[in-house]
Amino acid sequence: MSSHLPKKPKNKGKYKDTINIALAGNPNVGKSVIFNQLTGLSQTIGNWPGKTVERMEGYLDFLGYHFNIVDLPGIYSLSTYSLEEIVSREYIVSDEVDLIINVIDATNLERNLFFTFQLLELKVPMILAINQMDILRKRKIELDFEELERIFKLPVLPVVAVHGTGVHQLLEEAIEMVVYRYSHSHFDSSEPEEYEHHRHDYYRDEHVYNKVEKWPPLKKEFEFPDLSSILSFGKEVETKINNLRREIEKNQDYFSGFQYPLRFLAIKLLEDDEEIRKIFENNEKARSSIEIAKNYRNELEEYHGEDINTIISSEIYNDIHKIIEKVVSIKQKEKVQKTSFADKIDHLTTHSFWGYVILAFVIFGIYAFTFTVGDLLGGLIDGIYEDLSVTIYDTYGEDNLWIKILWNGGVGGFFGAVGGVLVYVIPFFLIIEILQDSGYLPRAAFLMDRVMHAIGVHGKTIIPMILGFGCNVPACAGCRIMETEREKKISIVLSSLVPCAAVMTVVMGLVGRYLGLFWVLFLLAINFTVILIVGRLLNKTMPGVCTELIMEMHEYRVPNYNVITKQTWLRSKEFIFKAMPLIIVLGITLEILLELRALDPINIVLSPITVFWLGLPIITGVFLIYGILRKELTLVLLALLASSMGLTLIELMTPIQMIVFCLVTMLYVPCFATVVIIAKQTNWKYALQISLMEISVALLIGGLIHFGYIFFTTL
């Protein structure tokens, strides 16, 4: 079998039972929709080994075969500018994949085929799935699929993923390609009768066997089709690539176990691809190829007056244009094309004025929907817990040690996680999936892109940040919509600093009630100044650069609610199965510490900070620790303390103490549920770094305000 093809996975029997497929393509071309249509709820979400990039994997059984399907991250090229591109490229050429389904947006062939050309250079068995054919037909545009298959010498299938049209035909084609390739590697072409017998055996289902009409000529093994007619660059570039390929071939022994084809290596070395260059740098004999590639690169750049990436891209797009001219035809041209309703909505939602007005209403709607549903369900769940608690206390006693630990800590932690967090997480992801699938979310990101660039991220970040006003947990979880790890990390920090509903409860219940609205606005101004400064600092110090916003703005469409509910569940179940158990354990641990009176010494230990530096009452040290569970607990405990002493809050704390206390509550470490979500989105090290940073900022600003007040009152 050809060396560039993946190795055959292990199988249970004599014939191939498992087919491993990877879905590859640009962002927002319908890969995830196809993935959901195929795998349903048989999916897992994790990270790629050694990477923080999310990995979506699912499986299904179809016509006697077991399919493992991986939804690769949406990328625009096979360069190595991001972790997603590195992960995708390495996986595509690995032994783990038998076949690539390259999903292409029919409404944007030019850009999508650029990625297809790069996949072709890898010489992997591949099927082209042309998605969104329904939109293309509405535009009176036709594609010549027979011509596409003739050009690419690969199967090309029309698909409407949102309706499931053509999706299962992809699997039938995959069976034909993979099984046919496998069969030819095991049976001699001189015995066609034997091959015919086994061919029938491969197709366990009689319906499929009878359905297959066209069989390629029998041959010894699968050979990747010769695509030199469409993969050829201009004369100058092609000469350099071939010379470099021959130079690399001299060290063939070194690359004997290497998965990339020699031509692909030559192209990437010519482009000065960082990952490929490292491979050559690590081998003394192969280092000469780096210098040769550098000389060729300089010659081409001097000749064309452009950088090498632009030169290569231009050559590819020249070939793409030729293909599009052959396969695309307009069925009917109207002299006066009427503006559709979707076009009018598109114009309004991206308008320089009305776009922002609509965005404001949409953001308010997200907030209102999420927290109306969350508050309603949360209230019901809290009521159930309180009623159950009354029964438990009446039966076993409120002071029972095990009741405190197991019921208050364990069961209370569970109800708190469900009623205080999950009821907000699910509605948030539901509304975000609706906005994404309908086509509005990319437009909102487009409007806010310029503003958000000032703090090191692009426009998508505005969505989770706005949700942070309600709860930081769904806000930080929502940061997974960011494309790069750098932007996701910055977005998480900024979203965690937004004052959530619990924080605003403390601020309004203390400062707002006793000092007035002006001081509430003063605290908010400080909070958002911190967000701006932190964002700019992270943008300057975190490795990498803020990427430009590149999003597919597909036409507005009616959301597919089957896909939306599946996606909502997939995103929500990570919190259910990973974050909730940790919250329950923390609740039990805290109750044990309370019973051991281990928190009392903490007030004394923290007094240099709380009393001397911040100027707060000593008891607030424990209250701030309670705030790690839920921020509103700090206000509840203060009120209980004041009541037990026969005082009001304004008598217990001075105005400056109220301001400092609320400011620290706003800025210091977010609640534990948020920290857990941050750790799941990134890692525990980063979650702890964020927590320490926010604690330091809160204490620094709180102390400066305290001593600044003393200084000015002394004057």
Counting DSSP H helices and E strands in the chain, the numbers are 34, 9
**Highest-pLDDT range among 14-18, 307-311, 446-450:** 307-311
Which amino acid, 98? D
Q: What share of the chain has pLDDT > 90, as a percent?
A: 12
C-alpha triplet 476, 25, 159: angle, nearest 5°? 110
Mean pLDDT, the chain, rounded, equals 78
Residue 559, pLDDT score: 79
pLDDT band at 617 (very low <50, low <70, confident <90, very high): confident
Residue 703, pLDDT score: 93
State the Cα–Cα distance between residues 435 and 361, nearest whole angstrom. Answer: 13
Rounded mean pLDDT, 678-685: 84
Which is higher by pLDDT, 418 or 660? 660
Rg, C-alpha atoms of the chain? 30
What is the pTM for the complete model shown? 0.60
pLDDT band at 349 (very low <50, low <70, confident <90, very high): confident
List helix spans (H) across 50-156: 83-92, 109-121, 133-138, 145-152
24 DSSP β-pair partners? 102
Query: In terms of C-beta density within 10 A (0-12 exposed, 13-18 middle, 19 or more buried), how is residue 709 classed?
Result: middle
**pLDDT tens, residue by residue, 24-64:** 998 878 888 898 888 876 666 655 655 556 678 888 888 77
Residue 187 clears pLDDT 50, i.e. is over it = no
Residue 696, pLDDT score: 93
Residue 42, SS3?
A: coil
Residue 376, C-beta contacts closer than 8 angstroms, at least 6 positions apart: none
Which is higher by pLDDT, 212 or 129? 129
Residue 177, pLDDT score: 81
Residue 164 clears pLDDT 90, i.e. is over it = no
Residue 526, pLDDT score: 94
DSSP states of 163-207 = GTBTHHHHHHHHHHHHHHHHHHTTS-TT-HHHHHHHHHHHS-SHH
Residue 103, pLDDT score: 95
Residue 338, pLDDT score: 54
**pLDDT tens, residue by residue, 380-437:** 988 898 889 889 988 888 888 888 888 887 888 788 778 766 787 788 778 877 887 7
List helix spans (H) across 478-560: 485-497, 501-507, 513-514, 517-541
Which is higher by pLDDT, 222 or 30? 30
- Edge-first strand order for the sheet with 18-24 is 43-47, 54-62, 65-71, 18-24, 99-105, 126-131, 156-158
Residue 421, pLDDT score: 67
Which is higher by pLDDT, 222 or 426? 426
Residue 701 clears pLDDT 90, i.e. is over it = yes
User: In the numeric block, which tokens belong to residue 151?
Assistant: 């050009």
Rounded mean pLDDT, 556-572: 76
Which is higher by pLDDT, 108 or 1? 108
* Torsion region of 53: left, alpha or beta (phi above 0 gives left; psi -120 to 50 gives alpha): beta
Residue 651 clears pLDDT 50, i.e. is over it = yes
Residue 656 clears pLDDT 90, i.e. is over it = yes
Question: In order of start, what are the domains of the chain with their CATH numbers?
Answer: 18-211 (3.40.50.300), 237-328 (1.10.287.1770), 354-501+547-589 (no CATH), 593-714 (no CATH)
Residue 47, SS3?
A: strand
C-alpha triplet 85, 88, 89: angle, nearest 5°? 85
**pLDDT tens, residue by residue, 620-641:** 888 788 778 777 777 766 776 6
Rounded mean pLDDT, 507-535: 87
